[in-house]
Amino acid sequence: MNTTDFDFHLPEELIAQTPLEKRDASRLLVVNRETGKFSDQHFDSIIDQLEPGDALVMNNTRVLPARLYGEKPGTGGHVELLLLKNTEGDFWEVLAKPAKRLKVGAQVVFGDGRLTATITEELDHGGRIVRFDYQGIFLEVLESLGEMPLPPYIHEKLADRERYQTVYAKENGSAAAPTAGLHFTKELLTKIEEKGVKLVYLTLHVGLGTFRPVSVDNLEDHEMHSEFYTLSEEAATTLRNVKANGHRIIAVGTTSIRTLETIGNKFNGEIQADSGWTNIFIKPGYQWQIVDAFSTNFHLPKSTLVMLVSAFAGRELTLKAYEHAISERYRFFSFGDAMFIK
């Protein structure tokens, strides 16, 4: 299978630049894999797709304001760092721009010296390992100095940074939001729970690799980025009981899917508490272990996420659904509309 098999033409004006005023006012395209039928709805009607006894699984990661603008002492040269992951203690893997002048030992200063980064290692593609020095608590310093790392296709400034967090975001560590969850309000989640649906949370810290289109022609050659996940004992027990009682596990977004399927593959279809790194690449031909249905946003052409949706719904139906969404002027990507596939 080739990357071009997952390409489609997306008019630029359909890329949502800002979130809607009401989170759950976005649209929802319901896709039935059995019948191949589509239904145009609004997001709050997702509750009608959920049955008492089902589990709705969400990723409670929180996005760090991971984009830092600083300068080199002495020269005053501007440097931008994007935090990718905390490797240990105060050491972080970052993407640096411009990287070529940042050799091992070089320093970058942020916010009147409240935060200093020292380069300790050079990696490929502008990557660096840095050590941060600061006074107080790192996350508080970061909250005051950092900006939200919005995806490259969003050109507008975000007025309220909480709009790039889900209402249930809790565990700090992502470089990007699990955007399928942005549509839920606290009120909608309460109604879903009152219907008898189990709300289950896991954590996968989203890396920026999520946004990359696949750059190789043959899918077999694509290397996935690694992301860290955690599923607690309590969550695993709830999900096992849901399955045992013949109900469905419904994932919110591709990050929840990747976590659940990683665990399913590791434990031969069983759901166990677990944490670790995953680089699972779900593409057509994949044998599903855990997930019975899911919601997700509309993704970039040729991205691994379109391939993941195709692995569940079939490539033809997925591309047909995307064509339908484009002709009906659905909004695409992080702040865009959603689809529910059952």
- Of 71-75, 182-186, 246-250, 266-270, the poorest mean pLDDT is in 71-75
Bond before 149 cis per omega within 30 degrees? no
User: What is residue 181's three-state secondary structure?
Assistant: helix
Half-sphere exposure of 156 (CA within 13 A, CB side): 12
- Of 121-125, 328-332, 333-337, the poorest mean pLDDT is in 121-125
CATH class of 3-63+160-341: alpha beta
Q: What is the pTM of this model?
A: 0.90
Q: How many CB atoms lie within 10 A of CB 67?
A: 17
Looking up tokens 């919110």 gives: 252
Q: Which residues 6+ apart lie within 8 Å of 132 measured at CB? A: 90, 91, 92, 115, 116, 117, 138
Tell me how far apart the alpha carbons of residues 266 and 269 are, in angstroms, rounded to a whole number. Answer: 8
Tell me how far apart the alpha carbons of residues 298 and 178 are, in angstroms, rounded to a whole number. Answer: 13
pLDDT confidence bin for 29, thresholds 50/70/90: very high
Q: What is the 3-state secondary structure (H, E, C) of 106-143?
A: CEEEECCCCEEEEEEEECCCCEEEEEEEECCCHHHHHH
What does the pLDDT look like over 288-308, one tens digit per residue? 999 999 999 999 888 889 999
Q: Kind and range of the H or E element at 62?
A: strand 61-63
Q: Pick the closest to residue 298 from 102, 71, 28 (CA basis).
A: 28
What does the pLDDT look like over 56-80, one tens digit per residue? 999 999 999 999 999 999 899 999 9
Mean pLDDT computed over 225-244: 95
What DSSP line would sit under 66-121, residue for residue?
-EEEEE-TTT--EEEEEEEEEEETTEEEEEEES-TT--TT-EEEETTTTEEEEEEE
Q: Which residues 6+ apart lie within 8 Å of 237 measured at CB? A: none
CATH number of the domain located at residue range(s) 67-145 in this protein: 2.40.10.240
Question: In sequence order, what are the beta bridge partners of 71?
Answer: 78, 109
What 8-state DSSP symbol labels residue 158?
A: P
Q: Domain residue spans in the chain?
A: 3-63+160-341, 67-145
Mean pLDDT computed over 223-236: 89
